[in-house]
Chains A and B, each alone.
Chain A
Amino acid sequence: MKAWLLFLLLALAGAGAALSANVAAPQGTTTVALPPDVGPTFKPGPGAGVARQYCTNCHSPAYVANQPPLAAAQWTAEVTKMQRAYGAPIPSDAASTIVRYLTAVYGKP
């Protein structure tokens, strides 16, 4: 098959176009230093320390602080998801404290 025909067929086959020139793959090491957590932090309130203790093991407080105001059932579902889907080892009394805290501080008014 002529080269131009092959190229045309490749171009028609998909949006990805074949490259004729050799392309160099990346080499060597890329190293970055991910910045520290610049906030937001958990707002003060009863249970804030418990939330900080369990939640920040895996993620920043921003995951909570940037949410829209959520209803108690929504915060309950979030904490339950952390326990059941992600395996967060949050004892049930601590989970209750966290839900009360989130609902009080980040809940729907």
Chain B
Amino acid sequence: MDRSRFLLSVGSALGWLSLAQGASAQTAVTLPFVNGERRLVAYPQKRPLILQTPRPPQLETPFSLFDEGAFTANDAFFVRWHLAGIPESVDASTHRIAVTGAVRRELSLSLEDLAAMPVVEIVAVNECSGNSRGFFNPRVPGGQWANGAMGNARWTGVRLRDILARAGLQPNAVQVQFRGLDEPVLPQTPAFKKSLDVDVARGDDVIVAFLMNGEPMPLLNGFPVRLVVAGWYATYWVKMLSQITVLDHADDNFWMKTAYRIPDTPNASVAPGSTGFPTVPIDKMNVRSFVTNLIDGATLKAGPTALRGIAFDGGSGVRRVDVSLDGGATWSNAVLGEDYGRYSFRLWNFTWDAKPGTYTIAVRATSRDGATQSATPTWNPSGYMRNVIETYKLSVA
């Protein structure tokens, strides 16, 4: 970023920040792990969110907002960037996506070009690979997220495979690589690039999206266009997409070869302290569920009580959600809410006549592919893919 532009940004942001602070009563939260104190700060086009890091910005959605419904509002959606060279101004009218590499015809596509192609929409969860990393035990280095590095939105755009078909893949095409407008601070830092195998890239549900919940997306979520790889972790959902490069080899750039890799073991889990295990690139999200209208340690009045929450997986869809009132000893089936598609948050609710006492509420989702959640947390050194059964202590008086 050029220095004068940075100073201008600081000046205008300061005025705006004091406004936001005046309007908001709560200015800090403590995430429920050691060293979990964070400020709530409203970034541009965002309501106050949990400030994980200012530069590059990482903003977490306060968990209570997931109780608002199946869709995460654009101004509440989490933000995660790897490199601080983020353009603060992007012109959608002149933005182009270059399609190059092992193709028959190189393309330079405007957003109008995209809108003239068959447009599809899909409701899909976008979850950071390291969502919930702060709960790992033993703790691991990395972004110390609680459970709010995820969101669910309706994405509108065109299928990547239609773009690839227009360009025409060469027979030697192996992977498709994506990069956006963000730049590293230092020229020697690897630019953020992610790749998908050609078969994955040509799937039904890989979308080059230009609308998020029916609106242009916030700049911090990738305006004017981002990749949506429904069912896969957010690391692949490249923001401000500007380059699609068809590779004739497996991508060996840092962000594929070294970063975002998981143990090639069941549930991507290893014993803490393990080394030397084989790794593979992270891909599909695992199944998770949460209560959204209850915080751990809450006290409720006795009587009819509605518990509700969300569940999702990596695209097989949620088959069932079960709730336990006794810490997982016995389970009862919850009622599922409207089905917005197999990649979406699925709301659930459970009504219970609460008698005085203390309870450990637990929630467990089972996906249509048969996967479910375990009471034993997994562990891996990068803090990826947490999906333990969530529990909530509750007093009824």
The chain A residues found within 8 Å of chain B, CB to CB, are: 10, 13-19, 22-39, 57-60, 62-63, 66-70, 74, 77-78, 85-89
Say whether chain A's binding surface is mostly helix, strand, loop, or mixed: loop
A58 to chain B, nearest CB (A): 5
CA distance A10 to B86 in the complex (A): 37
- The 8 Å CB contact of B223, one of A13, A19, A30, A67, is A30
**A58/B186 in contact, CB under 8 A:** yes
B369 to chain A, nearest CB (A): 14
The answer to whether residues A67 and B144 also contact, given A15-B341, A36-B54, A85-B254 and a CB cut-off of 8 A, is: yes
Per the 8 Å Cβ criterion, residues 82-132 of B in contact with A are 83-84, 86, 88-93, 111-112, 114-115, 118-124
Count contacts on B: residues with CB < 8 A to the other chain: 76
A84 to chain B, nearest CB (A): 10
B31 to chain A, nearest CB (A): 9
Given A59-B53, A62-B51, A86-B190, 15 extra CB contacts under 8 A: A15-B123, A15-B342, A18-B118, A29-B92, A30-B90, A30-B219, A33-B9, A33-B44, A34-B88, A35-B44, A58-B84, A62-B53, A66-B35, A66-B38, A87-B189
CA distance A68 to B33 in the complex (A): 9
CB neighbours of A15 from chain B (8 A): 122-124, 204-205, 230, 315, 341-343
CA distance A85 to B190 in the complex (A): 8
**B54/A35 in contact, CB under 8 A:** yes
**B204/A35 in contact, CB under 8 A:** no
The 9 closest A-B pairs by CB, nearest first: A14-B204, A87-B188, A32-B44, A25-B111, A68-B139, A26-B216, A25-B115, A16-B120, A16-B122
B60 to chain A, nearest CB (A): 11
CB neighbours of A28 from chain B (8 A): 91-93
